[in-house]
Amino acid sequence: MTKLKLGPLADDRPVKLTVELPAAVHRDLAAYAAALAAETGGDAVTPEKLVAPMLARFMASDRGFARGRRSANG
């Protein structure tokens, strides 16, 4: 298996957010959680625990977002 983009998840203070996902996305999140647990040797996490680190990783890798954020902060 190839190395997953997410590593072990940090235990951070959460902010509650309610979203609706297509069933296929939820199934993929569950499969990703199982693959992550197998790769890291840790316990499986719930799919909702993956959303924040995945979004953070996505935003960190988006050069246009980073550029816009830097110019907005002056």
* Inside any domain, residue 15: no
What is residue 62's predicted lDDT score, i.e. its pLDDT?
84
The total number of structural domains that make up the chain:
1
What is residue 2's predicted lDDT score, i.e. its pLDDT?
67
Residue for token pair 């246009």: 64
- Residue 47 structural domain: 25-60
What is residue 74's predicted lDDT score, i.e. its pLDDT?
67
What is residue 1's predicted lDDT score, i.e. its pLDDT?
56
24-28, Cβ contacts within 8 angstroms, sequence gap of 24 or more? none
pTM value is 0.71
CA distance 69 to 23: 33
Do 53 and 9 meet the contact criterion of CB atoms below 8 Å apart? yes
Residues of the chain predicted below pLDDT 50: none
* Inside any domain, residue 33: yes
pLDDT, tens digit, 9 for 90 and up, residues 3-24: 777 777 777 787 788 999 999 9
* Inside any domain, residue 41: yes
